[in-house]
Structure 1
Amino acid sequence: MAERPLDLDAVQAFLRIAELGSFTRAAEAMRTTQAAVSLKLKRLEDRLGCRLVERTPRHVQLSARGAAFVDQARELLEAHDRALAAVAGARQRLTIGISDHVAGPELPALVARMNAQDPQLLIEIRIASSGDLLPAFDRRELDTVIVRQHLGRCDGEVITEEKFGWFAAPGWQHRAGEPLPLATLAEPCGVRMMAGQLLDRAGVPWMEIFVGGGVAAVVAAVMAGLGVAALAPRMLPFGAVDVGSRLGLPDLPRLPVLLHTRVRDGRGRDALAALSAAYRGAVRG
C-alpha cells in the first residue's frame, strides 16, 4: 500500500513557522488560529516520524531534521504553485503602495517572505508618502496600500502600532536660544504635520533645516548632524539617539500602520496576510 502523501497545508504551516519564528505570526500569515497551526505541524511531524520544531516558552527554533527539511518543503510548494500556474495561465498581479515611513530597512526581507508565500504572484510595489498613496488607491491605481494614519482618515485594517521618537546623531547638541532644527519629509506627510503641531502646542520654537524626498534622505540629514527628526527607531542606524527627554520635547504617540485593500480572497490575500504578519514581527522586534 502506498504511503500517504504529505499534506500541503501542513507543509505550508511548517514553512511559515520556520520563516517567521513564531506560531502566532505564522497563524496571522495563514489567517487561522495558533491552535490550528500547531495541529498542522503535529500531523506533519507524525507523518514524517520526526520532530521538526523545538518549542520552549520563549523561543521557537528548528530541530536538525527541521532545518534539513526547509529547502525540500519550499521546493515542494513551489512545484505545486508552478503546476497550478501552468493550468491557470497568466500570472496574477498584485500592486502595492507602501508609505516611506512604513517601508523601512526590512522591506527586502518582507518582500522575500511574500514571494515565498506565492512565487507565481507578480508583485509590483510603489514607495511614496501616505498622502500620495491613498488618493492613488481611491483612484484604483493600486490594489493595496500600507500607510500611516493620514489626516484623520480612520478606515482600513490596523496591522500594528509603532512608537516614534525625536532622534539626532550621537553627540549632537542643540544650540541654546535657537529654534529646534527639524529634518522632515516634504508635504504631504502626516508625520511632519503631527511633529509640527505637537511642538507648537508645547511652545517649542522650531524651524525646518532639511526637507527630504524620502525617509532615507531624512535619516542621512539626522546622522550628518543637521538636526532632529521624528522617526521610528527601526528606520535609523545603530547609534542614533532619542533626545526628546533631554530637550523637553513633547511625547510622540504610537502611530498605527493601516492596510487598505480591495483584495479579499485568493492568492493575493494570502500574500498580503504573510506581509502583514511579517510587519507585525518587524515592529515588535
Structure 2
Amino acid sequence: MLSLDVDAVRAFVMVADLHSFTRAAKALGTTQGAISVKLKRLEDRVGHRLLERTPRSVRLSAQGTAFLQGARELIAAHERAIAGLNAPPRHFGLGIAAHVAGPEVPALLSRLHAHDPNLTIEVQLDNSRNLLDLFDQGRLDAAIVQREDDRRDGETLAHERFGWFAAQGFDHREGEPLRLAALAPTCGVRNIATQALDVAGIKWIEVFLGGGSSAVHAAVVAGLAIAPLSYRIAPAGTIDVGAKLGLPKLPPSEVVLHSSLTDRRSRAALGALAAAFREHRAKG
C-alpha cells in the first residue's frame, strides 16, 4: 500500500496555495531547499510530477491539480487527530477591514478552522486605520486591511478597484451637494474619496455616517446616498455612477496582510488563510 509523508504533502499544499517555494518555506518555518527536497521525494513516491516549475512561476501540473483536494483532506485529518491528542488551544486575534470583508469571509474562517481545529478565531471588523493601530499595539495577531499611506510592510494579497456606487434610481440634482454615505472619519477610503471631491471642486454632504458597512450599504440600496465602495463588495442592484455624475476616479488600492506571529503552528494557519483569500479573489 502506498503511504505518504505528511510533512511532504503539507509542503506541496503550501507551495500550491502560495505559488512560491520561498513563501511556502517562510510559512512553514523552513528553507526553500528543504521544501524542494520534500517535493521531489513526494513526486517520486506518487510517480507523477505535481508541480511545474520555471524560474519565474510555480503552477500545478494536471496530476497536481487532481491530487490537491485529497492532499488538503489528508492534512486536515492529520491536524484534527493531533489536535485531539496534545495540541493546546490557541487564540487567534484577526482584524478584517470593513472595505475588505466580503461574502467569502465565512469560507475563509472555515478553512482556517479546518487547518487547526484547536484554534479559536476572534474576528474584529473595523476600518483599516483602527485595525492597524490595534495591530501595532499588539492587540491583534494579524490584520487584513487596505494599504494605508506610504506604509510598505505587509504581504500583498489582492488589488481592489473602487467606484461611486448608488441605487439605479439615485436622484442627484445639479447644484445640490452630493449626498454621501461613508464610514467613520478615520476610514481611509472615505478620506480618499472626500479629498478627491474637494480637489475636483464638487460640494458634498455626509447624510449617513459611521453606522458600519452594513448600514452604509443599506443607505445606498435605499437610494439615500452615494458611497465610495470596492467593486467586489458593492451591494447587488447598485451601479457605479461616477462617470454619469462626472465624479473623480478613485485610485486602486492593495489589500495587505500584517502579522506578528512567529511560531510554526500559527504561521502555517496564517498561510492557509492567505491562500484561501487569494483563491476566493481569483474566483471572483
Which one-letter code corresponds to 2:136 in the other structure?
Answer: D
TM-score (ref. length: structure 2): 0.78
Query: In structure 1, how many angstroms separate the alpha carbons of the residues matched to 2:235 and 2:241?
Result: 15
1:186 lines up with 2:184 in the alignment: yes
CA pair 39-282 structure 1, distance change in 2 beyond 3 A: farther
Q: Quick one: percent identity of the two aligned structures?
A: 48
Give the number of equivalent residue pairs. 275
Offset at 1:179?
1.1
C-alpha contact (below 8 Å) 1:184/1:229 kept by paired residues: yes
Partner of 2:206: 208
Gaps of 5+ in 2: 52-58
Which one-letter code corresponds to 2:221 in the other structure?
Answer: M
Q: How large is the Cα RMSD of the aligned pairs?
A: 3.7
TM-score (ref. length: structure 1): 0.78
C-alpha contact (below 8 Å) 1:244/1:250 kept by paired residues: yes
Of the structure 1 ranges 108-117 and 184-193, higher mean CA displacement relative to structure 2 is found in: 108-117
C-alpha contact (below 8 Å) 1:29/1:276 kept by paired residues: no
Query: In structure 1, how many angstroms separate the alpha carbons of the residues matched to 2:89 and 2:255?
Result: 29
Query: In structure 1, how many angstroms separate the alpha carbons of the residues matched to 2:81 and 2:272?
Result: 22
Query: In structure 2, how many angstroms separate the alpha carbons of the residues matched to 1:204 and 1:25?
Result: 46
Partner of 1:113: 111
C-alpha contact (below 8 Å) 2:92/2:121 kept by paired residues: yes
Offset at 1:205?
0.9
Which one-letter code corresponds to 1:154 in the other structure?
Answer: R
C-alpha contact (below 8 Å) 2:50/2:60 kept by paired residues: no
Offset at 1:208?
0.8
Of the structure 1 ranges 106-115 and 193-202, higher mean CA displacement relative to structure 2 is found in: 106-115
Query: In structure 2, how many angstroms separate the alpha carbons of the residues matched to 1:233 and 1:256?
Result: 13
CA pair 247-94 structure 1, distance change in 2 beyond 3 A: same
CA pair 148-51 structure 1, distance change in 2 beyond 3 A: closer
Query: In structure 1, how many angstroms separate the alpha carbons of the residues matched to 2:279 and 2:188?
Result: 24
Partner of 1:24: 19
1:196 lines up with 2:194 in the alignment: yes
Partner of 1:123: helix, strand, or coil?
strand
C-alpha contact (below 8 Å) 2:83/2:117 kept by paired residues: no
Q: Which of 274, 277, 281 does residue 276 from structure 1 map onto?
A: 274
Query: In structure 2, how many angstroms separate the alpha carbons of the residues matched to 1:174 and 1:61?
Result: 53
Q: Which of 220, 224, 227 does residue 225 from structure 2 map onto?
A: 227
Of the structure 1 ranges 180-189 and 268-277, higher mean CA displacement relative to structure 2 is found in: 268-277
